Structure 1
Amino acid sequence: MINGVSGPGEGAAVADEEAPATTVTPARPRGLALGVLAGAMILVVLIDVLTKYLVVAKLTDHAPVKVLGGFFYLDLTRNSGAAFSLGTGHTWVFPLVTLVVLGFIGWLARRLRSVPWAIALGLVLGGALGNLGDRLFRAPGFLEGHVVDFVSLFGPNGEHWPIFNLADASLCCGVVLAVLLEVFGRRRDGGHGRDTGQRGEH
Protein backbone atom coordinates (compact mmCIF):
# COMPACT_ATOMS: atom_id res chain seq x y z
CA MET A 1 0.00 0.00 0.00
CA ILE A 2 1.42 3.42 -1.02
CA ASN A 3 -0.08 6.62 0.55
CA GLY A 4 -3.25 4.77 1.54
CA VAL A 5 -3.73 3.25 -1.92
CA SER A 6 -3.60 -0.52 -2.22
CA GLY A 7 -1.32 -1.84 -4.88
CA PRO A 8 -2.36 -4.59 -7.33
CA GLY A 9 -3.18 -7.81 -5.55
CA GLU A 10 -2.58 -6.41 -2.05
CA GLY A 11 -6.29 -6.45 -1.12
CA ALA A 12 -6.64 -10.09 -2.12
CA ALA A 13 -3.52 -10.98 -0.16
CA VAL A 14 -4.88 -9.28 2.97
CA ALA A 15 -8.23 -11.02 2.56
CA ASP A 16 -6.47 -14.36 2.20
CA GLU A 17 -4.51 -13.74 5.39
CA GLU A 18 -7.67 -12.88 7.33
CA ALA A 19 -9.74 -15.80 6.03
CA PRO A 20 -9.75 -18.79 8.36
CA ALA A 21 -7.76 -21.75 7.16
CA THR A 22 -9.83 -24.70 6.02
CA THR A 23 -8.78 -28.28 5.80
CA VAL A 24 -10.18 -30.87 3.47
CA THR A 25 -10.70 -34.28 4.96
CA PRO A 26 -9.77 -36.89 2.37
CA ALA A 27 -12.61 -39.20 1.46
CA ARG A 28 -12.27 -42.71 2.78
CA PRO A 29 -11.79 -45.31 0.06
CA ARG A 30 -15.19 -46.56 -1.07
CA GLY A 31 -13.67 -49.69 -2.56
CA LEU A 32 -12.41 -50.82 0.85
CA ALA A 33 -15.84 -50.54 2.44
CA LEU A 34 -17.51 -52.35 -0.45
CA GLY A 35 -14.88 -55.08 -0.26
CA VAL A 36 -15.51 -55.54 3.47
CA LEU A 37 -19.27 -55.68 2.83
CA ALA A 38 -18.83 -58.31 0.11
CA GLY A 39 -16.38 -60.31 2.23
CA ALA A 40 -18.69 -60.35 5.26
CA MET A 41 -21.64 -61.35 3.09
CA ILE A 42 -19.76 -64.19 1.37
CA LEU A 43 -18.36 -65.49 4.67
CA VAL A 44 -21.80 -65.59 6.28
CA VAL A 45 -23.36 -67.34 3.28
CA LEU A 46 -20.59 -69.96 3.11
CA ILE A 47 -20.77 -70.72 6.84
CA ASP A 48 -24.57 -70.85 6.70
CA VAL A 49 -24.60 -73.24 3.73
CA LEU A 50 -21.93 -75.48 5.28
CA THR A 51 -23.57 -75.73 8.70
CA LYS A 52 -26.98 -76.47 7.19
CA TYR A 53 -25.47 -79.16 4.97
CA LEU A 54 -23.78 -80.84 7.93
CA VAL A 55 -26.85 -80.59 10.14
CA VAL A 56 -29.14 -82.12 7.51
CA ALA A 57 -26.60 -84.87 6.79
CA LYS A 58 -25.90 -85.77 10.41
CA LEU A 59 -29.03 -84.91 12.41
CA THR A 60 -31.92 -86.01 10.21
CA ASP A 61 -34.02 -88.40 12.34
CA HIS A 62 -31.53 -87.87 15.16
CA ALA A 63 -32.18 -86.80 18.75
CA PRO A 64 -31.05 -83.29 19.77
CA VAL A 65 -27.35 -83.04 20.59
CA LYS A 66 -26.33 -81.24 23.81
CA VAL A 67 -23.48 -78.76 23.39
CA LEU A 68 -21.49 -76.93 26.09
CA GLY A 69 -23.30 -78.65 28.92
CA GLY A 70 -26.72 -77.69 27.63
CA PHE A 71 -26.02 -74.05 26.81
CA PHE A 72 -27.51 -74.91 23.45
CA TYR A 73 -28.67 -77.97 21.54
CA LEU A 74 -28.29 -78.94 17.90
CA ASP A 75 -31.89 -79.73 17.05
CA LEU A 76 -32.84 -80.00 13.38
CA THR A 77 -36.18 -78.47 12.42
CA ARG A 78 -37.75 -77.05 9.27
CA ASN A 79 -39.16 -73.55 9.50
CA SER A 80 -41.78 -72.21 7.10
CA GLY A 81 -41.78 -68.78 8.79
CA ALA A 82 -39.31 -65.95 9.20
CA ALA A 83 -36.44 -65.75 11.68
CA PHE A 84 -37.19 -67.51 15.00
CA SER A 85 -40.24 -69.23 13.41
CA LEU A 86 -42.26 -66.01 13.08
CA GLY A 87 -44.96 -65.79 10.43
CA THR A 88 -45.40 -69.47 9.65
CA GLY A 89 -47.96 -70.10 6.95
CA HIS A 90 -46.85 -67.13 4.79
CA THR A 91 -43.66 -68.60 3.36
CA TRP A 92 -44.00 -67.03 -0.09
CA VAL A 93 -43.91 -63.50 1.40
CA PHE A 94 -40.40 -63.77 2.83
CA PRO A 95 -38.46 -64.06 -0.46
CA LEU A 96 -40.18 -60.87 -1.60
CA VAL A 97 -39.25 -59.12 1.65
CA THR A 98 -35.66 -60.31 1.18
CA LEU A 99 -35.53 -58.77 -2.30
CA VAL A 100 -36.70 -55.45 -0.84
CA VAL A 101 -33.97 -55.67 1.82
CA LEU A 102 -31.35 -56.40 -0.87
CA GLY A 103 -32.46 -53.38 -2.88
CA PHE A 104 -32.37 -51.15 0.21
CA ILE A 105 -28.85 -52.27 1.10
CA GLY A 106 -27.76 -51.64 -2.48
CA TRP A 107 -29.14 -48.11 -2.19
CA LEU A 108 -27.32 -47.54 1.11
CA ALA A 109 -24.07 -48.80 -0.40
CA ARG A 110 -23.92 -45.92 -2.88
CA ARG A 111 -22.25 -43.70 -0.26
CA LEU A 112 -20.67 -46.42 1.83
CA ARG A 113 -17.17 -45.61 3.09
CA SER A 114 -17.42 -46.77 6.70
CA VAL A 115 -15.93 -50.18 7.50
CA PRO A 116 -18.14 -50.72 10.60
CA TRP A 117 -21.21 -49.94 8.48
CA ALA A 118 -19.89 -52.30 5.82
CA ILE A 119 -19.65 -55.09 8.39
CA ALA A 120 -23.19 -54.40 9.63
CA LEU A 121 -24.68 -54.38 6.14
CA GLY A 122 -22.65 -57.43 5.13
CA LEU A 123 -24.00 -59.39 8.11
CA VAL A 124 -27.57 -58.43 7.25
CA LEU A 125 -27.08 -59.19 3.57
CA GLY A 126 -25.40 -62.54 4.22
CA GLY A 127 -28.12 -63.60 6.64
CA ALA A 128 -30.87 -62.61 4.23
CA LEU A 129 -29.24 -64.44 1.32
CA GLY A 130 -28.60 -67.55 3.41
CA ASN A 131 -32.27 -68.00 4.23
CA LEU A 132 -33.34 -66.92 0.73
CA GLY A 133 -31.42 -69.89 -0.66
CA ASP A 134 -33.54 -72.22 1.48
CA ARG A 135 -36.73 -70.51 0.31
CA LEU A 136 -35.77 -70.97 -3.31
CA PHE A 137 -34.23 -74.43 -3.40
CA ARG A 138 -35.52 -76.55 -0.52
CA ALA A 139 -38.74 -78.54 -0.20
CA PRO A 140 -41.64 -78.18 -0.58
CA GLY A 141 -40.91 -75.96 -3.60
CA PHE A 142 -39.69 -72.74 -5.19
CA LEU A 143 -40.43 -69.64 -3.04
CA GLU A 144 -41.98 -71.93 -0.40
CA GLY A 145 -38.94 -73.84 0.79
CA HIS A 146 -38.63 -74.39 4.53
CA VAL A 147 -35.54 -72.95 6.21
CA VAL A 148 -33.21 -75.31 8.09
CA ASP A 149 -32.99 -74.25 11.75
CA PHE A 150 -30.89 -76.10 14.30
CA VAL A 151 -29.77 -73.96 17.29
CA SER A 152 -31.96 -74.31 20.38
CA LEU A 153 -30.79 -72.26 23.37
CA PHE A 154 -30.85 -73.62 26.95
CA GLY A 155 -32.87 -76.69 26.02
CA PRO A 156 -34.03 -78.89 23.13
CA ASN A 157 -37.11 -78.38 20.97
CA GLY A 158 -37.11 -74.61 21.35
CA GLU A 159 -38.38 -74.82 24.93
CA HIS A 160 -36.84 -71.51 26.03
CA TRP A 161 -36.09 -69.70 22.78
CA PRO A 162 -37.24 -70.29 19.18
CA ILE A 163 -34.86 -72.48 17.21
CA PHE A 164 -32.74 -70.52 14.71
CA ASN A 165 -29.77 -70.85 12.37
CA LEU A 166 -26.56 -68.90 11.78
CA ALA A 167 -28.14 -66.79 9.04
CA ASP A 168 -30.74 -65.58 11.56
CA ALA A 169 -28.00 -64.82 14.09
CA SER A 170 -25.96 -62.92 11.50
CA LEU A 171 -28.94 -60.86 10.41
CA CYS A 172 -29.81 -59.92 13.99
CA CYS A 173 -26.20 -59.03 14.85
CA GLY A 174 -26.02 -56.84 11.74
CA VAL A 175 -29.19 -54.99 12.67
CA VAL A 176 -28.01 -54.43 16.25
CA LEU A 177 -24.64 -53.14 15.02
CA ALA A 178 -26.35 -50.79 12.56
CA VAL A 179 -28.56 -49.40 15.33
CA LEU A 180 -25.53 -48.82 17.58
CA LEU A 181 -23.65 -47.07 14.77
CA GLU A 182 -26.64 -44.83 14.17
CA VAL A 183 -27.03 -44.04 17.88
CA PHE A 184 -23.36 -43.09 18.22
CA GLY A 185 -23.42 -40.92 15.10
CA ARG A 186 -21.27 -43.05 12.81
CA ARG A 187 -22.28 -42.16 9.28
CA ARG A 188 -22.12 -44.50 6.32
CA ASP A 189 -19.75 -42.13 4.51
CA GLY A 190 -17.21 -42.58 7.30
CA GLY A 191 -17.89 -39.29 9.11
CA HIS A 192 -19.27 -38.59 12.56
CA GLY A 193 -22.44 -36.82 13.63
CA ARG A 194 -25.94 -36.76 12.26
CA ASP A 195 -26.43 -36.80 8.51
CA THR A 196 -28.04 -33.44 7.63
CA GLY A 197 -28.45 -34.28 3.99
CA GLN A 198 -26.31 -31.28 2.96
CA ARG A 199 -23.18 -33.20 1.99
CA GLY A 200 -22.62 -33.93 -1.63
CA GLU A 201 -21.60 -37.27 -3.02
CA HIS A 202 -17.86 -37.93 -2.95
Structure 2
Amino acid sequence: MTDQPDDAAPETQEESVPAPPLPPRKVGLLAAIAATVVILDLISKIVIVATVQPGEPVRVLGGLVYLSLIRNPGAAFSMATGMTWVLALVAIGVVIFIIRMAPRLRSTPWAVSLGLVLGGAMGNLIDRIFRAPGFLQGHVVDFVSVFGPNAQYFPVFNVADSAITIGGISLVVTALLGIDFDGTRTKSGKAKNA
Protein backbone atom coordinates (compact mmCIF):
# COMPACT_ATOMS: atom_id res chain seq x y z
CA MET A 1 0.00 0.00 0.00
CA THR A 2 1.53 3.26 -1.09
CA ASP A 3 0.78 6.56 0.50
CA GLN A 4 -0.06 9.45 -1.70
CA PRO A 5 2.15 12.49 -1.14
CA ASP A 6 0.43 15.30 0.77
CA ASP A 7 0.93 17.83 -2.00
CA ALA A 8 -0.57 15.62 -4.71
CA ALA A 9 -4.16 16.51 -5.52
CA PRO A 10 -6.58 13.61 -5.50
CA GLU A 11 -8.00 12.71 -8.87
CA THR A 12 -11.47 14.11 -9.28
CA GLN A 13 -13.94 13.08 -11.84
CA GLU A 14 -16.77 15.40 -12.64
CA GLU A 15 -19.91 13.52 -12.03
CA SER A 16 -22.27 14.23 -14.84
CA VAL A 17 -25.78 14.86 -13.66
CA PRO A 18 -28.22 13.29 -16.08
CA ALA A 19 -30.60 15.75 -17.64
CA PRO A 20 -34.15 15.33 -16.43
CA PRO A 21 -36.20 13.35 -18.91
CA LEU A 22 -38.32 15.40 -21.26
CA PRO A 23 -42.02 15.27 -20.54
CA PRO A 24 -44.00 13.27 -23.09
CA ARG A 25 -45.23 15.01 -26.19
CA LYS A 26 -48.74 16.43 -25.99
CA VAL A 27 -49.79 16.16 -29.65
CA GLY A 28 -52.52 13.64 -28.81
CA LEU A 29 -54.03 15.92 -26.17
CA LEU A 30 -53.99 18.89 -28.54
CA ALA A 31 -55.59 16.80 -31.32
CA ALA A 32 -58.27 15.36 -29.01
CA ILE A 33 -59.28 18.81 -27.73
CA ALA A 34 -59.31 20.30 -31.23
CA ALA A 35 -61.39 17.40 -32.58
CA THR A 36 -63.86 17.70 -29.68
CA VAL A 37 -64.32 21.43 -30.33
CA VAL A 38 -64.84 20.87 -34.07
CA ILE A 39 -67.39 18.09 -33.47
CA LEU A 40 -69.33 20.09 -30.86
CA ASP A 41 -69.26 23.16 -33.10
CA LEU A 42 -70.51 21.25 -36.15
CA ILE A 43 -73.28 19.43 -34.27
CA SER A 44 -74.50 22.60 -32.55
CA LYS A 45 -74.59 24.53 -35.86
CA ILE A 46 -76.43 21.72 -37.66
CA VAL A 47 -79.04 21.56 -34.87
CA ILE A 48 -79.48 25.35 -34.73
CA VAL A 49 -79.83 25.75 -38.51
CA ALA A 50 -82.43 22.95 -38.53
CA THR A 51 -84.48 24.19 -35.57
CA VAL A 52 -84.15 27.98 -35.16
CA GLN A 53 -85.50 30.43 -37.71
CA PRO A 54 -83.71 33.75 -38.34
CA GLY A 55 -85.45 36.54 -36.48
CA GLU A 56 -87.23 34.09 -34.13
CA PRO A 57 -84.94 33.67 -31.12
CA VAL A 58 -85.53 30.88 -28.62
CA ARG A 59 -85.41 31.91 -24.96
CA VAL A 60 -83.28 29.64 -22.72
CA LEU A 61 -82.48 29.76 -18.98
CA GLY A 62 -85.16 32.31 -18.23
CA GLY A 63 -83.81 34.85 -20.70
CA LEU A 64 -80.17 34.64 -19.65
CA VAL A 65 -79.43 33.10 -23.06
CA TYR A 66 -81.25 33.29 -26.38
CA LEU A 67 -80.63 31.06 -29.38
CA SER A 68 -80.60 33.57 -32.23
CA LEU A 69 -79.57 32.33 -35.68
CA ILE A 70 -77.28 34.86 -37.34
CA ARG A 71 -75.00 34.29 -40.33
CA ASN A 72 -71.89 36.36 -39.77
CA PRO A 73 -69.67 37.31 -42.74
CA GLY A 74 -67.17 39.03 -40.44
CA ALA A 75 -64.97 38.28 -37.49
CA ALA A 76 -65.85 38.38 -33.81
CA PHE A 77 -68.13 41.27 -32.87
CA SER A 78 -69.10 41.52 -36.59
CA MET A 79 -65.88 43.33 -37.49
CA ALA A 80 -64.41 43.13 -41.01
CA THR A 81 -67.67 42.00 -42.60
CA GLY A 82 -66.35 42.78 -46.09
CA MET A 83 -63.15 40.80 -45.56
CA THR A 84 -64.51 37.25 -45.33
CA TRP A 85 -61.85 35.73 -47.60
CA VAL A 86 -59.07 37.43 -45.60
CA LEU A 87 -60.49 35.99 -42.38
CA ALA A 88 -60.53 32.54 -43.99
CA LEU A 89 -56.86 32.91 -44.98
CA VAL A 90 -55.96 34.04 -41.44
CA ALA A 91 -57.73 30.97 -40.04
CA ILE A 92 -55.83 28.73 -42.47
CA GLY A 93 -52.57 30.36 -41.32
CA VAL A 94 -53.43 29.77 -37.64
CA VAL A 95 -54.27 26.12 -38.32
CA ILE A 96 -51.02 25.54 -40.24
CA PHE A 97 -48.94 27.31 -37.58
CA ILE A 98 -50.37 25.25 -34.70
CA ILE A 99 -50.06 21.97 -36.61
CA ARG A 100 -46.40 22.73 -37.39
CA MET A 101 -45.68 23.55 -33.74
CA ALA A 102 -47.49 20.52 -32.35
CA PRO A 103 -44.68 17.92 -32.61
CA ARG A 104 -42.49 20.01 -30.26
CA LEU A 105 -45.27 20.52 -27.72
CA ARG A 106 -44.56 19.09 -24.24
CA SER A 107 -46.64 21.32 -21.97
CA THR A 108 -50.17 20.36 -20.92
CA PRO A 109 -51.39 23.97 -20.48
CA TRP A 110 -50.05 24.87 -23.93
CA ALA A 111 -51.63 21.73 -25.44
CA VAL A 112 -55.04 22.55 -23.95
CA SER A 113 -54.86 26.21 -24.98
CA LEU A 114 -53.65 25.54 -28.52
CA GLY A 115 -56.14 22.68 -28.89
CA LEU A 116 -58.99 25.08 -28.10
CA VAL A 117 -57.69 27.71 -30.53
CA LEU A 118 -57.06 25.12 -33.26
CA GLY A 119 -60.51 23.56 -32.85
CA GLY A 120 -62.20 26.96 -32.87
CA ALA A 121 -60.28 28.15 -35.92
CA MET A 122 -61.12 24.93 -37.78
CA GLY A 123 -64.79 25.11 -36.78
CA ASN A 124 -65.25 28.59 -38.20
CA LEU A 125 -63.02 27.80 -41.19
CA ILE A 126 -65.36 24.93 -42.12
CA ASP A 127 -68.17 27.50 -42.33
CA ARG A 128 -66.01 29.84 -44.42
CA ILE A 129 -65.25 27.04 -46.88
CA PHE A 130 -68.56 25.18 -47.14
CA ARG A 131 -71.40 27.60 -46.34
CA ALA A 132 -73.08 30.13 -48.63
CA PRO A 133 -72.30 32.30 -50.43
CA GLY A 134 -69.27 30.23 -51.50
CA PHE A 135 -65.71 28.99 -51.05
CA LEU A 136 -63.71 31.16 -48.58
CA GLN A 137 -66.71 33.55 -48.55
CA GLY A 138 -69.04 31.49 -46.34
CA HIS A 139 -70.84 33.13 -43.46
CA VAL A 140 -70.24 31.68 -39.99
CA VAL A 141 -73.29 30.41 -38.11
CA ASP A 142 -73.52 32.25 -34.77
CA PHE A 143 -76.36 31.51 -32.37
CA VAL A 144 -75.64 32.24 -28.68
CA SER A 145 -76.94 35.64 -27.58
CA VAL A 146 -76.62 36.47 -23.89
CA PHE A 147 -78.91 38.72 -21.82
CA GLY A 148 -81.12 39.49 -24.81
CA PRO A 149 -82.06 38.22 -28.28
CA ASN A 150 -80.26 39.01 -31.54
CA ALA A 151 -77.08 40.51 -30.03
CA GLN A 152 -79.04 43.17 -28.19
CA TYR A 153 -76.48 43.42 -25.36
CA PHE A 154 -73.51 41.30 -26.46
CA PRO A 155 -72.37 39.98 -29.85
CA VAL A 156 -73.76 36.60 -30.89
CA PHE A 157 -71.20 33.77 -30.86
CA ASN A 158 -70.84 30.01 -31.30
CA VAL A 159 -68.89 27.07 -29.83
CA ALA A 160 -65.84 27.78 -32.02
CA ASP A 161 -65.75 31.44 -30.93
CA SER A 162 -65.96 30.37 -27.27
CA ALA A 163 -63.08 27.92 -27.73
CA ILE A 164 -60.89 30.55 -29.41
CA THR A 165 -61.60 33.06 -26.63
CA ILE A 166 -60.98 30.61 -23.78
CA GLY A 167 -57.88 29.24 -25.52
CA GLY A 168 -56.50 32.73 -26.11
CA ILE A 169 -57.02 33.78 -22.49
CA SER A 170 -55.47 30.51 -21.34
CA LEU A 171 -52.41 31.12 -23.57
CA VAL A 172 -51.88 34.54 -21.99
CA VAL A 173 -52.20 33.13 -18.45
CA THR A 174 -49.84 30.26 -19.29
CA ALA A 175 -47.24 32.68 -20.66
CA LEU A 176 -47.60 34.98 -17.61
CA LEU A 177 -47.02 31.99 -15.33
CA GLY A 178 -43.75 31.39 -17.16
CA ILE A 179 -44.68 27.99 -18.55
CA ASP A 180 -42.80 27.34 -21.77
CA PHE A 181 -43.92 25.40 -24.80
CA ASP A 182 -41.53 22.55 -23.93
CA GLY A 183 -42.94 22.14 -20.40
CA THR A 184 -40.16 24.01 -18.59
CA ARG A 185 -40.61 27.18 -16.59
CA THR A 186 -38.79 30.42 -17.16
CA LYS A 187 -36.95 32.02 -14.24
CA SER A 188 -39.46 34.85 -14.05
CA GLY A 189 -42.30 32.32 -13.81
CA LYS A 190 -40.47 30.39 -11.08
CA ALA A 191 -39.82 33.61 -9.16
CA LYS A 192 -43.49 34.58 -9.30
CA ASN A 193 -44.55 31.18 -8.00
CA ALA A 194 -41.91 31.05 -5.24
The normalised TM-score by structure 1 is 0.85
Q: 1:122 aligns with which of 115, 120, 123?
A: 115
Any idea what the Cα deviations from partners look like across 1:37-82, whole Å, max 9, x if unmatched? Answer: 0000000000000000000000134611111111110000100001
Q: How does 1:127-142 map to 2 (within 5 A)?
A: 127-142=120-135
Match of 1:92, SS?
Answer: helix
Q: 1:184 offset after TM fit, Å?
A: 0.5
- C-alpha distance in 2, partners of 1:105/1:61? 35
- C-alpha distance in 1, partners of 2:39/2:137? 22
How many residues matched?
Answer: 186
Q: 1:88 aligns with which of 67, 81, 90?
A: 81
Q: 2:44 aligns with which of 46, 51, 54?
A: 51
- C-alpha distance in 2, partners of 1:61/1:175? 30
Confirm whether residue 29 of structure 1 aligns to residue 29 of structure 2.
no
- C-alpha distance in 1, partners of 2:103/2:144? 35
- C-alpha distance in 2, partners of 1:94/1:138? 14
Letter in 1 for 2:59: K
5+ residue gaps in structure 1? 196-202
5+ residue gaps in structure 2? 189-194
Match of 1:144, SS?
Answer: coil
Partner of 1:200: none
Partner of 1:101: 94
Q: 1:176 offset after TM fit, Å?
A: 0.3
Q: 2:137 aligns with which of 144, 158, 172?
A: 144
Partner of 2:53: 60
- C-alpha distance in 1, partners of 2:107/2:42? 28
- C-alpha distance in 2, partners of 1:147/1:34? 28
Q: 1:23 offset after TM fit, Å?
A: 5.1
Match of 1:66, SS?
Answer: strand
Match of 2:150, SS?
Answer: helix
- List 4+ stretches of structure 1 deviating above 3 A: 4-7
Any idea what the Cα deviations from partners look like across 1:130-169, whole Å, max 9, x if unmatched? Answer: 0000000000111101100000110001011111111001
Contact 1:81 1:89 in 2 (8 A): yes
Specify whether residues 50 and 63 from structure 1 end up closer, same or farther in structure 2 by C-alpha distance, changes over 3 A only: same
- C-alpha distance in 2, partners of 1:166/1:86? 18
Q: 1:95 offset after TM fit, Å?
A: 1.1
- C-alpha distance in 1, partners of 2:178/2:18? 21
Q: 1:168 aligns with which of 157, 161, 186?
A: 161
* Identity over aligned pairs, percent: 47
The normalised TM-score by structure 2 is 0.89
Match of 2:164, SS?
Answer: helix
